[in-house]
Amino acid sequence: MNPVFLGTAAALCWGMLDFLASNTGRRIGPLPVTAAVTLFGLVLISLWLLAFGELPTLLRGDVWWPAVAGIGVALATLFLFTAITSGPISLAVPVAMSYPATSVLLGAFLGSIPSLTQLAFVALILIGALLVAGGESGSAEVEETPGRWRRTITFAILAHLTFVVGVFAGQKSALLFDEIQSVWISRLAGAAIILPLMFARPAPIRPQIPYLPVLAVMGLLDVFAITLLFAAGKSAQPELANVCATASGAITIVLAWIFLHEKIAYLRWIGIAATFFGIAALSALK
């Protein structure tokens, strides 16, 4: 399987997910959104396995790989949503979503060393993603207090680290289980972590009901994206899929430009162009 294609398809799903979450998260909060996305994803992938496959056993000794993946991804999603709602997006997103750079370093440490040409295009994609995230203009962020900046950077770093752990464990689990079965186990583990947090901080149910259809779509997009990223674990260079997944930020911005008529700053256009050019070049190399 081509990791560049898998990562790009995951970026498309996550870009649409973040576009939908930009409004929903502000309305009902990051924890309810994370819980709903996790649970809807679990229900949908369970229905898929019951209809077209079989549910995996949880008694295997290596089941901890997808379990760790699920806990990591669920916590990373919660940390990212919290960082975004806490402070400047242009601070939160570059820190959190630069985790593919750490994945490349981890892959090199484990023996999967990209070529110099691949590294050049990986750097181009990451620079483009940073320009997309940091190209936001406006004076609102200047007024942020130091306390909110510290909170934002703390949760962004936590999201970065847990994404690295979650995606790495998920891609390893795809070698041991089928990738869809890996995602199902990971969703069980993610739900086991998120649901107690929901019960500890219960939110009113009535305001969330109108958003259930949107949350169901978000759950579908998320579980499809993570399945693609886990499936990249069967490729020779899964870290390239992680890098290409950073294009989700550019896709979110473009969707906002198309559907919400939001203006895109000059630097962001450069970042979008750099991101997609880098992905196309990596794909050509594969």
Closest to 55 (Cα-Cα) out of 173, 227, 222, 184: 184
Residue reference for tokens 């169901």:
216
- 8 Å CB contact between 66 and 185: yes
Q: What is the pLDDT of residue 90?
A: 60
Q: What is the pLDDT of residue 91?
A: 66
Q: What is the pLDDT of residue 144?
A: 54
Q: What span, in angstroms and rounded, lies between the C-alpha atoms of 110 and 66?
A: 19
Q: Find the mean pLDDT for residues 84-96.
A: 70
- A 10 A CB-CB count for 178 gives 17
Q: Which amino acid is at 188?
A: L
Q: CA torsion sign, 62 to 64 to 70 to 72? A: negative
**pLDDT tens sequence across 25-67:** 777 888 888 899 999 999 999 999 999 988 888 988 899 999 9
φ and ψ of 226, to 5 deg = -70, -30
Closest to 3 (Cα-Cα) out of 166, 181, 223, 234: 234
- 8 Å CB contact between 132 and 253: yes
The number of helices, as runs of H, and strands, as runs of E, in the chain is: 12, 0
- 59 exposed, middle or buried (CB, 10 Å; 0-12, 13-18, 19+)? exposed
Angle at 260 between CA 254 and CA 263, to 5 degrees: 60
Confidence of residue 142 (pLDDT cuts 50, 70, 90): very low
Confidence of residue 166 (pLDDT cuts 50, 70, 90): very high
Angle at 260 between CA 40 and CA 124, to 5 degrees: 80
**pLDDT tens sequence across 15-26:** 898 788 777 877
Which residues span the domain enclosing 202? 3-285
- 8 Å CB contact between 124 and 115: no
Q: Which amino acid is at 253?
A: I
**pLDDT tens sequence across 224-258:** 999 999 999 898 888 889 888 888 878 887 887 88
- Cα-Cα-Cα-Cα torsion 123, 141, 22, 249, nearest 10 degrees, comes to -10
Total tally of structural domains belonging to the chain: 1
